[in-house]
Amino acid sequence: MKFYRKQPIEAEQFDGSSDLFIKYDMIDIGAMCEERHSPEVYMSGDHRKVTIGDWIITDNFNHHTLMTDKEFQQQYAELPVIPKNVAKHIVTEHGLSDLIPIWGGIYRAMIQTVVYGYQKGDIGDWIINHSDMFARAWLDGYVVEGKHD
C-alpha cells in the first residue's frame, strides 16, 4: 500500500458576508423563491448547501470544495505561528541540512541549543520551550508572527 501526503490548500470559513458570497460565486435559492424567507445558499456547481461556519477549500488548481467545520477540524490543522528569528533559523538550518535526513536537521537544531547553552529570551530558549511547535514548523511549514491575518 502506498501513502500520500496532502498538498497545501487554502481554506476560508464562510461567515455569511456578501464579500464571500460574491468571491465564491454563490447562489441564494431562497431569494429566488417568494415563499422562502430565509436564505438557502449554494456554491455554484456544487449541490451542497453552504451554512455559516462551513469551510471553502481551494486546492492548487483553484477548485473549491465545501466542508463542514467538523470535517475541516478532523482533517486540517493551522500552520504554527513562530517568531521571525526562529523562521530565519529554520531557513538557515534547512539550507545546511540538504544532504542530511530531515530528522537529523531538527535533532541537531534542538540539541545544539542545549549543548551550547542558551539564555532566557534567545532563540534557543524559544526552541526548547516550544519544541513541538518548532518541529511542526520545520516539517509542515509556518507563518511568521505579524505576517498573518
Q: What is the mean pLDDT of each run of 10 residues along the chain (149 residues)?
A: 66 91 83 57 80 90 88 84 87 56 57 63 79 84 76
Question: How much of the chain is helix, strand and coil, in % rounded to 5?
Answer: 40, 15, 45
H/E run at residue 49: strand 49-50
Q: What is the pLDDT of residue 8?
A: 67
Cβ distance 40 to 46 under 8 Å? Answer: no
DSSP state of 101: -
What is the spatial distance between Cα 108 and Cα 89, in angstroms, rounded to a whole number? Answer: 12
Q: In the prediction, which pLDDT does 54 show? A: 94
Parse the chain into domains and list their residue ranges. Answer: 10-75, 81-144
- Those residues with Cβ within 8 angstroms of residue 42's Cβ, 6 or more apart along the chain or in another chain: 26, 27, 29, 48, 49, 50
